[in-house]
Structure 1
Amino acid sequence: MLGLIDVRGRWRRALLAWADGRADRTTLVDWVQGPSFYADLRSPAARPDFTGVAGLTDLTPAQVEWLGGQEGFAGRLGFDGAFFEWGRALDYQPPGPFLDAGSLRMEGV
């Protein structure tokens, strides 16, 4: 298990996992972490081509769906000695039913 000071930097996550057993290995996740604040941008895989798109009226349904699947949020990272919690002061999507909390493990670093 990592302590708060160990996660400072820019990271790309390879796995998002939930308590119910779901796992996502396809979403691109860029995470920037400072001493206590963070920013997280998640982009779904299979990005459509946006060549020639100058504005919203130029978007195809597939492009709109992909854009709507993006997530971006930022706030303060908390650590209680066992679990991390990403408090979302800013969020591109509406709030979900659960806190964004869990453990972290580094692999291949």
Structure 2
Amino acid sequence: MNAPLPPSGWICPAVSAFDLITGKWRAMILFWLLKEPLRFNELQRRLGAITHRTLSRTLKDMEADGLVSRHDHGEIPPRVDYALTPRGRSLEPVLLELERWAQADAGQR
């Protein structure tokens, strides 16, 4: 997800932050996990139209980015929870401000 460098070689630091939260499902996943850790199927239900494969891939990518942790309880039947890491939780003020902006912007249309 790295943006190409402009000819000057300088890139706005915010670009790397936007890379972490952009994508069709990332922001929605972050918003749901801000509220509480969730199991895979519950997260999929709350998101709606996301496929199993897409959610699985997105969660793996978000784990690799250090935003989401996966906790396998080692039980039968399997029980796995997803939660925000401290890095993921540190995006809370940014996400809440984006939400406020979106609500205000929608009211101006």
TM-score (norm 1): 0.27
Of Structure 1 and Structure 2, which has the larger fraction of its residues in strand? 1
Of Structure 1 and Structure 2, which has the larger fraction of its residues in helix? 2
